[in-house]
Amino acid sequence: MITAYEITLAQAADAREIAELSRDTIEQGLSWRWTERRVLRASRDEATNVVVARRDGVLLGFAIMQYGDDEAHISLLAVRASQRRSGLGSALLAWLEATAGVAGIRAIRLEARAGNAAAKSFYGRHGFTECGSSPGYYEDVEDAVRMVKRLGPAV
C-alpha cells in the first residue's frame, strides 16, 4: 500500500541523518560542509526552515531554505536515491513554496552544480529559470548554475 509522505520541520534528532544525506547525495567530491552541527544550527535559526519528509517513520528526504526580507534561498534539497522519481522532491518543494508564499517571499533562488542535470531538470519542471552562473563556485571543482523562481509580481 502506498502511504502519503509526512513533511514536517526537522527535530534535533534528525540532524545527523540530514547531514549524512547531504554528504552522500549533494556534497559528493567536495568537503563535507553541512555537518550535523551546521544542520542543527540551521534548524535552530529563526530565518531558516529545515524540513524532513518521512514515510512510515523513515526519513526519505529533506530540504533547507533560508529566508531574507523578500527572497528565500534553497540551500539543500535531496531525496534518497531509492525513492526518486516518485514525487517526493516535488512535495518538499511545494511545502517550501507554500510556506514562502505565506511569508510574503517574492522569489526563491538556488544554486545547482552545473553538471547536475537531474536538479536542473527538476527545478526547471517547477518553474525555475537559469539566471546566471558562478565559475568555480564549488571549491573550484565545479561551476554553479543559478536559478530563480518568482512567486509574485516583479518588483
Contact set with ligand COA (CB under 6 A): 25-26, 76-79, 84-90, 112, 116, 118-119, 121-122, 125
Contacts of 117-123 with CB under 8 Å at 24 or more apart are 118/84, 120/145, 120/147, 122/89, 122/90, 123/147, 123/149
Which residue's CB comes closest to ligand COA?
A: 89
Question: What minimum distance in Å lies between the beta carbon of 126 and ligand COA?
Answer: 7
Report the distance separating Cα 96 and Cα 49, nearest Å: 8
Nearer to ligand COA by C-beta: 114 or 151?
114
Report the distance separating Cα 58 and Cα 139, nearest Å: 32
For cell 533562488, the residue is: 109
Task: Pull the grid cell for residue 124.
Answer: 526547471
CA 118 from centroid of its chain's CA atoms: 13
CA 88 from centroid of its chain's CA atoms: 12
Parallel/antiparallel/unpaired status of strands 71-79 and 107-113: parallel
Question: What minimum distance in Å lies between the beta carbon of 73 and ligand COA?
Answer: 11
Report the distance separating Cα 128 and Cα 102, nearest Å: 19
Question: What minimum distance in Å lies between the beta carbon of 124 and ligand COA?
Answer: 8
Nearer to ligand COA by C-beta: 55 or 84?
84
Nearer to ligand COA by C-beta: 121 or 152?
121
Question: What minimum distance in Å lies between the beta carbon of 87 and ligand COA?
Answer: 5
Nearer to ligand COA by C-beta: 40 or 79?
79
Nearer to ligand COA by C-beta: 118 or 141?
118
Question: What minimum distance in Å lies between the beta carbon of 85 and ligand COA?
Answer: 4
